[in-house]
Amino acid sequence: MTNIETTYAGLKLKNPIIVASSGLTDSAAKNQKMEKAGAGAIVLKSLFEEQILHETAAMACHYSGMDGCDYLETYVRQNQLANYIKLIADTKKVCTIPVIASISCYDDAGWTEFAQQIEQAGADAIEVNMMALQTGTDYAYGSFEKRHIDVLTQLKKVVSLPIIMKLGSNLTCPPALIHQLFAHGAAAVVLFNRLYQPDIDIDTMTQTSGMVFSQQADLSTTLRWLGIASAQVPQLDMAASGGIHEPQDVVKAILAGATAVEICSAIYLQGESFIAQCTEFLTEWLQSKGIPSIAEAKGKLNQKNVSNNSTFERAQFMRYYSSHEQ
């Protein structure tokens, strides 16, 4: 009997399909719809620290002095937190699958009290999205990675919920950070978050938004680091995010070392029926290979289990180009 249940961040999921944090998960009604469509878990739309600061700045022009700005930030923060707590509570009333809260932050300040409220509202885990670019010429090497550890450490002090760290692909050595996150008590990591893409309109000579949705080609980066990190830190659960646009991509992620996958763009583009397509394909594929469970398939093609490690590390650069003649 084929079993597509999986364990992720200590949570038992009926299948590995997680609806990623997005507009797809910003209301209890939408979340209930995703559960009915077959999702194994959902990550609620993120509460962004930068959004709070932006809203505060937009209102600050009506006030003068630092005291007014401080008051505004406190007011905006508390209002958004109250709305988010309500989203958690309302979703838990209508969903039986794990509900994962999501916060996007720059540092460890100001989120510990909110984390406690998340736990009290009934969330099953917290996903921390460290979405930021390091662009200054005075950047101290390693400080961004240390910020991940600081945020995780502070949250672990105040909540008992599983803490999931969603990482960006702009890291020098993801396995090194993942190993440190495991050592400091992370329950899982997600590879990778996706920064909004910029573009330039050459007619109006203005900066514009680039591609909103991920592309299937994005999966290559995720597969590379999943394959390497899952071999080096096998004790920690990992989820794939970005580039999953076909049911086959779910299988690829699991073979590389994922225990779950986060999907967003494909559901926007193809509808929530894509969830059932993925679970049906996964079940049929496991049966065809005589593999009884996801646990048995996980990491079968990661760095530890493939004969040629260069597949992950150098992507067989010379072999590829030598076989393509003009």
Q: What is the pLDDT of residues 151-181, one digit of tens each?
A: 999 999 999 999 999 999 888 899 999 999 9
Q: Which residues contact 24 (CB under 8 A, 6 or more apart)?
A: 30, 34, 45, 264, 267, 268
Residue 247 confidence (pLDDT): 98
In the chain, DSSP finds a helix count (H) and a strand count (E) of 13, 13
Q: What is the 3-class SS of 309-325, one letter each residue?
A: CHHHHCCCHHHHHHCCC
188 burial type by CB count under 10 A (0-12 exposed, 13-18 middle, 19+ buried): buried
Residue 69 confidence (pLDDT): 63
**CB of 46 within 8 A of CB of 24?**
no
Q: What is the pLDDT of residues 57-81, one digit of tens each?
A: 555 555 555 555 666 666 666 777 8
Pairing verdict, β 6-8 and 11-13: antiparallel
Residue 251 confidence (pLDDT): 98
Residue 137 confidence (pLDDT): 83
Q: What is the four-CA torsion angle of 104, 108, 112, 113, rounded to 10 degrees?
A: -80
All domains in the chain, ordered by first residue: 6-322 (3.20.20.70)
Each residue's pLDDT expressed in tens, for the chain with a length of 326 residues: 799 999 999 999 999 999 999 999 999 999 999 999 999 999 999 886 555 555 555 555 555 555 556 666 666 667 778 899 999 999 999 999 999 999 987 655 567 778 899 999 999 999 999 867 777 888 788 888 998 999 999 999 999 999 999 999 888 899 999 999 999 999 999 999 877 778 898 999 999 887 778 888 899 999 999 999 999 999 999 999 999 999 999 999 999 999 999 999 999 999 999 999 999 999 999 999 999 999 999 999 999 988 766 666 655 554 555 555 55
